[in-house]
Amino acid sequence: MAMSGFEGFEKRLEINFSGDDPMIGIGLRQLEFELLEEILDAVQCTVVSAMGNGFFDAYVLSESSLFVYPTKIIIKTCGTTQLLKSIPPLLVHAHHMGLHVSGCRYTRGSFIFPKAQSFPHSSFREEVMYLEENLPSNLCYRKACVMPSKKSKSSHSWHVYTASDEQYMVQHNPDMFTIEVCMTELDRILARKFFRRPGDIYSGDLSGKEMTALTGIGNINPAALVCDFGFDPCGYSMNSIDGAQYATIHVTPEDGYSYASFECIGSHYDTNILEILKKAVQVFRPATMSISITGATEDLYTRVRDIFQPLGLNCRSCIIDEFPSAGNVVFQTFTTRRKKAADI
Ligand SMILES: C[S@+](CC[C@H](N)C(=O)[O-])C[C@H]1O[C@@H](n2cnc3c(N)ncnc32)[C@H](O)[C@@H]1O
């Protein structure tokens, strides 16, 4: 942990694969646990809890989450983890299974403690150089961009890198989108629910279950299965699985650098997703928030913006950029009325 505090803002890496393997129905899910541990070792985090269904496996990590689908892997890590170092061992193991990379997307917000990060995360420039050096040359459609929250010098930006090959451009499903919510300055009373009670002797699993119930996180999507973990003395992580779709929440409740994230994937035909998003934000009532949607339509990001107004969270900036194979990435920032737009 940084001397200054825990870095809640996550780095997120999604890698898509393709191949002629007859086992493609299982694909990356065949990876033995020891090999997953080896990949996570390079990142400097560990598995603390796991579950799966017919579609994918979901792991809660000591620093955020890992999702393994047959041809897609998503790793999200916070703190001072070195997420991009997962790429070389992951590509080696995938290659042994007859899978090759067809698409990659790396995203993150602005770190609260950027100086605490080490190689290859000391700057976005360094991250992009590392990605360029470690991804195969068939990913010829590449783009890196920092999306600011304001035209002037901004304190919060969304960093996006995408790379894909011809095949991924064809296979990519435009009906799906990813929502990444980063919340800071959490309501202090609500944040306290993510501290363990002094003297409790619960395991991380039991503590997580208690936090899920106490905070209302368990009601966000009653149809989903939840795997949760409560850290000691504070902090919380959960993954939920609902068919082929996941959602994940991570909480750093410490005052001064409180942070929570919510992420889910959705389909443009799924009308329930906005209600889920609204419920997730209400658990934390942040004073500042950013929402990034990859694969967004105008209808979707407008509706997302509008659901938060009744909660007192006003949209302060909205920036849109197009990425090959990822479609539109829309980055919106919000603050409560009591905060001035100049604060973000
Ligand atoms: C892993 S969790 C959730 C991370 C997530 N990215 C976030 O901050 O939203 C981080 C919280 O758990 C606390 N924590 C306690 N023990 C920890 C451990 N062994 N590893 C990581 N975090 C731990 C941290 O102080 C922090 O409040």
Are 69 and 28 spatial neighbours (Cβ–Cβ below 8 Å)? yes
The pLDDT, as a whole number, for residue 4 is 78
The finding on whether 49 has its CB within 6 A of some atom of ligand 1 is no
Q: Is the CB of 259 under 6 A from ligand 1?
A: yes
| C-alpha 34 – ligand 1 centre gap (Å) | 23
Given its phi and psi angles, is residue 37 left (phi above 0), alpha (psi -120 to 50 degrees) or beta? alpha
Domains of the chain, CATH where assigned: 11-343 (3.60.90.10)
pLDDT digits (tens, 9 = 90+) for 257-311: 999 999 999 998 887 999 999 999 999 999 999 999 999 999 999 999 999 999 9
250 lines ligand 1 (CB under 6 A): yes
Helix axes 33-43, 87-96, angle to 10 degrees: 160
pLDDT of residue 155: 73
In this prediction, residue 305 carries a pLDDT of 96
Specify whether the CB–CB gap between 301 and 332 falls below 8 A: yes
Q: Provide the token pair at 299.
A: 């209808």
* CB of 78 sitting under 6 A from ligand 1: yes
In total, the chain counts a number of residues equal to 344
The pLDDT assigned to 149 comes to 87
139 CA from centroid of ligand 1 (Å): 34
Q: Closest ligand 1 atom to the C-alpha of 7?
A: 8
Q: What is the per-residue pLDDT for 342? A: 47
ipTM, two decimals, is: 0.94
Q: Ligand 1: which atom is nearest the Cα of residue 253?
A: 27
Q: How far apart are CA 39 and CA 322, in angstroms?
A: 31
Residues with catalytic roles: 64, 78, 237, 250
Residue 80 pLDDT > 50? yes
Distance (Å) from CA 315 to ligand 1 centroid: 28
**Is 9 flagged in the annotation as binding?**
no
Using pLDDT thresholds of 50, 70 and 90, give the confidence band for residue 343: low
Maximum alpha-carbon separation in the chain: 57
User: What's the whole-number mean pLDDT along residues 68-82?
Assistant: 97
Percentage of residues of the chain with pLDDT beyond 90? 85
Residue 219 CB-half CA count within 13 A: 9
- Output Rg (C-alpha) for the chain, integer angstroms: 19
> Is residue 344 predicted with pLDDT exceeding 70?
no
Task: Give the residue carrying structure tokens 């009325």.
Answer: 337
* 225 CB-near residues (< 8 Å, 6+ apart): 51, 53, 240, 241, 242
pLDDT in tens, 142-196: 999 999 987 544 579 999 999 999 888 777 788 899 999 999 999 999 999 999 9
Cβ-based burial of 133 (10 A; exposed 0-12, middle 13-18, buried ≥19)? exposed
Looking at residue 24, its pLDDT comes to: 65
The residues with which 237 forms a beta bridge, in sequence order, are 229, 250
Q: How far is the CA of 107 from the centre of ligand 1 (A)?
A: 20
